[in-house]
Structure 1
Amino acid sequence: MTPAPPPTPSPAPPLRGRTVVVTGASSGIGAAAARRFARAGARVVPVGRDPERTRALAAELGVEPLLVDAARLDDVRRLAGDLLERCDRIDVLANNAGGSSARRTETPDGHETTFQVNHLAPFLLTALLRERIEATPGARVVTTSSAANLLGRVDLDDLDSRRGRYRGFRVYATTKLENVLFTRALSRRLGGTATASCFHPGVVATRFARDSVVAGVLYRTPLRRVLAVTPEEGAEPLWRLAVRPDPETVDGAYLDRLAPGRVNRQADDVELAEQLWVRSAQLVGVPA
């Protein structure tokens, strides 16, 4: 009797030995992505604002969470210090946290809240972690942007939206355009030592933007169930960008879900991206 062949060993999880930092991991896309990274063998560091939800996710994954309030730049600096102490490598930094508001408010740092949470906070976190990211072979920075970038307009002289009537969705759209400009400027600065990409996750059925007048038409009505994708589907582009074997082909790119996406014409303005970078560095107190 011919002996049975030995069983084929299961392939190693694709992210075993890799460290993945996910901001906005309290719920939605961030939580879905963190779970998928953990299943793939990654050492996941979930970062969130909501203590109860972030700790619950971390307990589910068997890891320690980190908390941050992106509306406080000192909190972002503390987070960066905690990450540098905890992580000797950062293979993927997922800048996923974000927010939107129908009314203009200011953070304790004196910035318009949506601008700080969606742009200045991830800008500062990435800047403070950049050396560790560049020292990690094959590292990548992936930022959650939005197709709303098409409706934004960056005014370097009014980044905090102090002029004229405040339009919450327009401000949100502008910060998503700033995510694209940030990604492209970061890619140029990394120079191939690491890669940077951003993406639109689709219209995701989460609690996000529940206070936005425009987005609320979808997010707070039955239309959400018809047109929106699940958090797991929304996290798919983030997963793909984190594991693709050829990240250099999407370095500096903006994807709409899984394909090259349309961007605001300002996104192609290299000088604007550089000026926004310099201005942002000045606002958060890091070298440009």
Structure 2
Amino acid sequence: MSKTIVITGASDGIGLAAARQLVRGGHRVVMVGRSPHKTRTAAEELGADHYTADFAHLGDVRALAAKLATRHPRIDVLMNNAGAILGERTVTEDGFEESFQVNYLAHFLLTTLLIDPLLTGGASVVQTSSNAARLSSRVDLDDLDNSRRYSPVRAYGNAKMELILFTRELHRRYHSLGLSAVAFHPGGVASGFARTSRSPVGTLFRSPVPGLFFQSPAKAAGQMLWLATSEPGRNWASGGYYEKRILRAVKAPSVAPDLLWDRSTELLGLAP
């Protein structure tokens, strides 16, 4: 059955690879990207709807949510895939540390603003997380902006752990109403990811190493496609985190998912 599938970070990497395969599979794909030129070019290639939004600007995210809700009153899958490892600590015009905002808070905002079309579609929310969540995160509810002991990798890991906690809370709040949520680690990908990062990780991705040892975007997109097109409850567990299609336990930080949710709504000025 054809689905309406919204993909953020769809103009490059695994997002674009997934979009190509989903269009070939007969699904209606809605592509969201940061670059107007790259997003438009990719969407025209596939004959897909497209929107641009820079997640470093929450006004873009709010406008995107309004357009999507109007144009697509039923969404079957939302793939929260956009993300980046950055460099030195930077604060956005919205007043948040950039990695926290781009990798987590903007996705939280987009998803909660789209909750009505997601519930109408009995949707799956698929979050691109990372094994950095369990390897390098130190989430602190009193320091979500990473103002203490900042490093690019830790800030990225924190945001990816926050996505896992968000996934659990989405499941708890909305699964009884038909919504499912899942997070996954795509593995190392030979793509443009992190090449512009102002960090040692960026140096690695600008070297020949990813091309020699990492998987192609098309192969890495396989797990994302599996989660988007298969049946929650039968093929995968809502609220879970997956690596290589295997449900993996992640040691939770001291932050409870419901408290992170409440703090996020407070920061964004959303109704409880």
TM category, shorter: over 0.9
Q: How far did residue 261 of structure 1 move?
A: 2.6
Look up the equivalent residue of 2:75 and give its one-letter code.
Answer: I
1:146 aligns to 2:133 (yes or no): no
Give distance in 1, aligned partners of 2:233 and 2:26.
20
Q: How far did residue 96 of structure 1 move?
A: 0.3
Q: CA separation of 1:112/1:207 partners in 2, compared to 1, >3 Å: closer, same or farther? A: same
The unaligned stretches of length 5 or more in structure 1 are 1-14
Contact 1:144 1:199 in 2 (8 A): yes
1:36 aligns to 2:21 (yes or no): yes
Contact 2:137 2:154 in 1 (8 A): yes
Q: How far did residue 32 of structure 1 move?
A: 0.6
Q: How far did residue 63 of structure 1 move?
A: 2.4
Contact 2:73 2:120 in 1 (8 A): no
1:187 aligns to 2:171 (yes or no): yes
Cα root mean square deviation, aligned: 1.5
Residue of structure 2 in register with 1:12 after alignment = none
Q: How far did residue 212 of structure 1 move?
A: 4.8
1:233 aligns to 2:219 (yes or no): yes
Residue of structure 1 in register with 2:237 after alignment = 250
Look up the equivalent residue of 1:161 and give its one-letter code.
Answer: N
Look up the equivalent residue of 1:119 and give its one-letter code.
Answer: Y
Look up the equivalent residue of 1:250 and give its one-letter code.
Answer: A
Structure of higher CA gyration radius: 1
Give distance in 1, aligned partners of 2:103 and 2:224.
17
Q: How far did residue 287 of structure 1 move?
A: 2.5
Q: How far did residue 66 of structure 1 move?
A: 0.3
The unaligned stretches of length 5 or more in structure 2 are none
Give distance in 1, aligned partners of 2:188 and 2:59.
31
**Structure-to-structure mapping, 1:1-288, within 5 angstroms:** 15-16=1-2, 18-137=3-122, 139-150=123-134, 151-163=136-148, 165-192=149-176, 193-210=178-195, 211-216=197-202, 218-247=204-233, 249-266=236-253, 272-288=256-272
Look up the equivalent residue of 1:222 and give its one-letter code.
Answer: P
Q: How far did residue 217 of structure 1 move?
A: 5.2
1:176-230 CA-partner distances (Å, limit 9, x unpaired): 1111001001110113311000100001111112225342354222221232111
Give distance in 2, aligned partners of 1:251 and 1:98.
22
SS of 1:66 mapped into structure 2: strand
Size of the alignment, in residue pairs? 268
Q: TM-score w.r.t. structure 1 length? A: 0.89
Look up the equivalent residue of 2:193 and give its one-letter code.
Answer: F
SS of 2:43 mapped into structure 1: helix
Between 1:182-191 and 1:245-254, the stretch displaced more is 245-254
Provide runs of 4+ in structure 1 moved above 6 Å. none
Contact 1:147 1:262 in 2 (8 A): no
1:45-82 CA-partner distances (Å, limit 9, x unpaired): 00000111100111011123100010111110000000
Calculate percent identity across the aligned residue pairs.
45
Between 1:32-41 and 1:121-130, the stretch displaced more is 32-41
Look up the equivalent residue of 2:263 and give its one-letter code.
Answer: R
SS of 1:44 mapped into structure 2: strand
SS of 2:142 mapped into structure 1: coil
Give distance in 2, aligned partners of 1:70 and 1:166.
20
Q: How far did residue 102 of structure 1 move?
A: 1.5
SS of 1:99 mapped into structure 2: coil
Look up the equivalent residue of 1:120 and give its one-letter code.
Answer: L
Contact 2:180 2:232 in 1 (8 A): no
Q: TM-score w.r.t. structure 2 length? A: 0.94
Contact 1:127 1:286 in 2 (8 A): no
